[in-house]
Structure 1
Amino acid sequence: MTILQKRPEQATTAPPTTRPPLRRTGNGGLGIVIRYLMLAIVLAVAIQALSITVANEQWWASALVLAATLAVVGTYATRRAVPLKYLIPGILLMLMFQIYPVFYTFYTAFTNASDGHTISKEESIEAITVDGPIVEGQNADRFALSIAVADGADPNTSPFVYLLVGDDGTVFLGDESGIASLPDSSVTLDDGKVTAADGFTLLNGVQINDRSGEFDAFSVPLDGDEAVKKIGLSEAFAGTVQYRYDEATDTIVDTVSGTVFVAENASWVPEDGGPTLAPGWKQFVGVDNFAKVLTNDTVRNSFIGILIWNIAFAGLSVLTTFALGLLLAIVLNRKMIGQRLTRSLLLLPYALPGFITALVWASMYNKDFGLINNLTGLDVNWLGDVWWAKVALLVTNLWLGFPYMFLICTGALQSMPANLTEAAIVDGASPWRVFRSITVPMLMVAIAPMLVASFAFNFNNFTLIFLLTEGGPFPADNPSAGATDLLISYTYRLAFGDGGSQFGFAAAISIFIFIIVAILSISSFKRALSLEEVNS
């Protein structure tokens, strides 16, 4: 018996217990410089944002900016947390463009936000009393006006002062804190107007016009209810502040007429009746906006009618586009002459921008000069009649939507195993039986989620409605709700319509839309999952 032994030179060494460190490739120094340069930019932007939010006392925004900055710096300043380096940008963008709009919409739905009610009560008082009108009396003092900033200050952004010259030649310095006299030796006058002043740089007409909004709202407070207000570029007057706020009674008093305005329903309402003072303020109203949808007869009837048409429009759009797309996909799924060219031509409506196609179809539906009536000899008022307008919408949406369905049905048909249909035909099944029992079930497994997504899209198809019919035609007794309005276009009209913006009410309807779409989508997805389980 011979025992074989390895030669010493053939003996294998034991594998190392630890892996050798990986050597970095590339220009690591440049990467570090770029990384810290980007972090410096982030910090600079964050400091600027924090200064703005703190100055405006927006503490919640300051907290969000600080948290985001700490997350970015803490993630990218070290070599750890590699997954977060890829997740942080997406998380921040999601918070900014999805989560924040959703929460702000919910918040707005519980407020009275609307035209004239977009600011706080304190800002409303300031806008009326401080930035409001100053009434010039019969014997009001007149001043020659020059506007200046401190020497070396930025004329576009720095605080400014008024250099005022009275009728007797006395020169005054006026700012937001009040008025004070200036010694004659420190100023130079020309034709009764200051042309130079020690320590100040006078602004020219262009610079004043660039900041005209600030100057129009600015006034120099005097004793009592008086203030100095500018007239044009070279003159000012001393007058009486028209409105004064009484903190003890929470009222605003018109110092000219004596009218007292009380705080009522987030507006300043005169005690004796009459128009309210603008602006009002935004306040929490609870579920009033939601209750209005359910209890106001006009709003409720409009909402229900629009909801029914909304569901019908979305459902019929999906049904018709799917039926036509599937039919064309089946026809072109066989080898034929010009198959590729025909498929390409059928995809053209999908390749064109939808808003351009909608405008073209709108011109074709013109009653007097439209292509459809001219070619067919009809005299149909396509966009002016309630039912024909709905037909026009469905036809146009069929043209826009069938290429998408044709595309996904073609892909689903080509991915089906051919042996199933061949086996069914061998067993004697008719083509209709094969289509109904094999093709359609397998097809639905693949495209059912697409149909749900298409329904959700058409449920909020604002572009088509706005460009084709603008929600019309409108009944004479309710110009805010049209016959072809979807809930989304109705909400848009409430929020930005000619009748006045109602942001809070529109936000409440948006929440109703969200709930309705969520319920329908969840139910549809459950059905789609059941199809997948049956065919698995």
Structure 2
Amino acid sequence: MTGPTLEEERVAGTPADKAIQRRQRRAAAYAEAAGAGWKVWLVKIASLAIIDALAVYGIFVLIAQDNWLMPLIIAIVVIAVNLVYLTPGLLPAKYLTPGILFLLVFQIFLIIYTVYVSFTNYGSGHNSSKDDAVNALLLQSQTRVEDSAAYPVKILEQSGGFYLLATDEEGEALLGGADQPLAEVDDAQFEGEQAVGVDGYTTLDFAGILANQDAIASLAVPLTDDPNDGFLRTTDGSTAYVFTSTLAWDPVADTMTDTETGTVYSDIGTGAFTAEDGTELLPGWQVAVGADNYIAAFTEPSIRGPFLYVLVWTFVFAILSVVTTFALGLFLAIVFNDPRMKSKRFYRVIVILPYAFPGFLTALVWAGMFNQDFGIINQWFFGGAAIPWLQDPWLAKIAILTVNLWLGFPYMFLVCTGAIQSIPEDIQEAAKVDGAGVWGIFRYIKFPLLLVSVAPLLISSFAFNFNNFVLIYFLTQGGPRFPNASINVGQTDILISMVYKVAFVGAERDYGLASAFSVIIFLLVGTISWIAFRQTKALEELN
């Protein structure tokens, strides 16, 4: 009986070759099922049909708003997606396309849009078009015409919008809305001499009027296409009167004139009608202002001072947060890694407990503990003294760093513990043989090798603390506020919390300036991270 020949062994192959062949066959089967199975094709066609339908709907909506750029972009993207998923092959593209689309929508687009807004005056009073601003100015300066005729009206509703159905002195039915001047209607239904309904519209009863009284009271229906001719308004939903504006809009001269004072307001390109003395009529409209927001951030005294202060404090806060949390985490990692330490598992669980609680809840608890009158810290540790931890600028900074140390050291402890345990014991034993002491082993062996693993995490921790909005906002709300600043900013604000308050807190919201600050933050963090990661390459030589 003879054994297997060399050829037979080569055909059979080794177990490793057989495993490779099985994986290849499995991958081929998956590829075939994904590319040719009729069920997959059915799901693919249905999914693409839904996407195409939504895209077509969005294109028509945007075109109706005189927006042509976005429909073109949507059409190109949808055509590209259809080509990728309907073309045989292109397997890598089929997997990469969703990720690329999400990257474009949630990252690239947001960055581009933020940069665009930073070059505009977008904000409170400048958040719409010029036509909308003209209408708003005429509406907000309306007064009732003396001896105005009273028009019996009914309130009609269609697709969520409200309309006035008025009956004039000649018994004709007039229908109009906020964007639809009054016009005669031929198919109105009458009860007696008053028009009460129109086909396609719902006439509100008394209960419906009460439920929507605010919207009805603010409804102003233009009498004609010229808003200077006046508006029809009602306060009770049954009788309307003619109102005219104290401002007169001249579209030819592009001016707005106050008919009571004679003051003329002109469009000087700043996004608002402006008088000769600089007085502006608000609301205005959104216009491009170039680099004015960036220039104001660094040159206007009421903005530059607080901005530079917050910028310096942001760097100090981020650096001290990383240094303190890393130092305490490393110290505890070394202590708990000592073989002579008893009950290490118990202590490690206790140490990481602060890391297990949500950061915003911890900040709120500490805010209560730092309360000047009732806080545990003042009551228990300072004999009831009324120390203003969160009201004094320097004490508030100390409180913030203390709370951030509490929140951050468990993470650094876990990182340093893993890094220390990964250092080979034979290197340390060799150092002991050469006569190195405990400090020498730590300084020249453990710490450099530790930095190889920890340095990227320290950089990411710096970037996180640079934008640690939650801690600042829930602990101090950025206060105490700068008294002479023209923007809403406090002495414990960091850049990201300052951006939030400029954009979303208070009556004056300046999205353009906030976007400029956001771009500055992006450039700062990106530059620092790039430099830091380049410097960490020197640590790789230690390996």
What TM-score range do you get, normalising by the shorter chain?
Answer: 0.7 to 0.9
1:282-312 deviations in whole A, cap 9, x for unaligned? Answer: 1111111111122223322222222222111
The partner residue of 2:456 within 444, 449, 470 is: 449
The partner residue of 2:365 within 360, 363, 384 is: 360
The partner residue of 2:287 within 278, 283, 295 is: 283
Q: Structure 1 76/384 Cα, relative in aligned 2: closer, same or farther at 3 Å? A: same
- Residue in 2 that maps onto 1:300: 304
- Residue in 2 that maps onto 1:407: 414
1:510: Cα distance to partner?
1.9
Q: Distance in 2 between matches of 1:257 and 1:315?
A: 58
- Residue in 2 that maps onto 1:93: 102
Amino acid at match of 1:165: T
TM-score (norm 1): 0.86
Q: Distance in 2 between matches of 1:202 and 1:505?
A: 45
1:465: Cα distance to partner?
0.8
Report how many residues are paired.
Answer: 506
Q: Distance in 2 between matches of 1:145 and 1:466?
A: 51
The partner residue of 2:329 within 313, 325, 339 is: 325
Q: Report the more deviating stretch, 231-240 or 136-145.
A: 231-240
Q: Structure 1 187/282 Cα, relative in aligned 2: closer, same or farther at 3 Å? A: closer
Q: Structure 1 217/113 Cα, relative in aligned 2: closer, same or farther at 3 Å? A: same
- Residue in 1 that maps onto 2:8: none
Contact 2:369 2:376 in 1 (8 A): yes
Contact 2:233 2:243 in 1 (8 A): no
Q: In angstroms, what is the RMSD of aligned CA positions?
A: 3.0
Secondary structure in structure 2 of the residue aligned to 1:127: helix
Q: Report the more deviating stretch, 476-485 or 301-310.
A: 476-485
- Residue in 2 that maps onto 1:229: 232
- Residue in 2 that maps onto 1:74: 83
1:444-501 deviations in whole A, cap 9, x for unaligned? Answer: 0001000011011111111111111111223444484422221222222222232511
Secondary structure in structure 1 of the residue aligned to 2:280: coil
The partner residue of 1:117 within 115, 121, 126 is: 126
- Residue in 2 that maps onto 1:46: 55
1:201: Cα distance to partner?
4.8
- Residue in 2 that maps onto 1:260: 264
Which residues in structure 2 correspond to 1:59-208 (within 5 Å)?
A: 59-129=68-138, 134-148=142-156, 155-156=158-159, 162-167=164-169, 170-175=171-176, 176=180, 178-180=182-184, 182=186, 187-190=189-192, 192-195=193-196, 199=199, 201-205=201-205
Contact 2:369 2:375 in 1 (8 A): yes
- Residue in 2 that maps onto 1:381: 388
Q: Which stretches in structure 1 are left out of the alignment for 5+ residues?
A: 1-5, 7-11, 13-18, 150-154
Q: Structure 1 43/207 Cα, relative in aligned 2: closer, same or farther at 3 Å? A: farther
Q: Structure 1 87/173 Cα, relative in aligned 2: closer, same or farther at 3 Å? A: same
- Residue in 1 that maps onto 2:352: 347
1:73-97 deviations in whole A, cap 9, x for unaligned? Answer: 2222233221122211111111111
- Residue in 2 that maps onto 1:371: 376
Q: Report the more deviating stretch, 83-92 or 20-29.
A: 20-29
- Residue in 1 that maps onto 2:20: none
Amino acid at match of 2:538: S
Q: Distance in 2 between matches of 1:87 and 1:211?
A: 52
Secondary structure in structure 1 of the residue aligned to 2:165: strand
Contact 2:219 2:233 in 1 (8 A): no
Q: Distance in 1 between matches of 2:155 and 2:391?
A: 59
Q: Which stretches in structure 2 are left out of the alignment for 5+ residues?
A: 6-10, 12-23
Contact 1:487 1:513 in 2 (8 A): yes
Q: Report the more deviating stretch, 382-391 or 294-303.
A: 294-303
Contact 1:142 1:167 in 2 (8 A): no
Contact 1:382 1:389 in 2 (8 A): yes
The partner residue of 1:438 within 418, 442, 445 is: 445
Q: Distance in 1 between matches of 2:147 and 2:467?
A: 62
Q: Distance in 2 between matches of 1:276 and 1:247?
A: 18
TM-score (norm 2): 0.85
Q: Distance in 1 between matches of 2:437 and 2:175?
A: 96
Q: Distance in 2 between matches of 1:108 and 1:200?
A: 41
Q: Structure 1 188/383 Cα, relative in aligned 2: closer, same or farther at 3 Å? A: closer
Amino acid at match of 2:378: N
- Residue in 2 that maps onto 1:249: 253
1:266: Cα distance to partner?
1.7
Q: Structure 1 413/41 Cα, relative in aligned 2: closer, same or farther at 3 Å? A: same
Q: Distance in 1 between matches of 2:426 and 2:225?
A: 97
Q: Report the more deviating stretch, 117-126 or 408-417.
A: 117-126
1:505-525 deviations in whole A, cap 9, x for unaligned? Answer: 222222222222222222211
Secondary structure in structure 2 of the residue aligned to 1:299: helix
Q: Percent identity?
A: 37
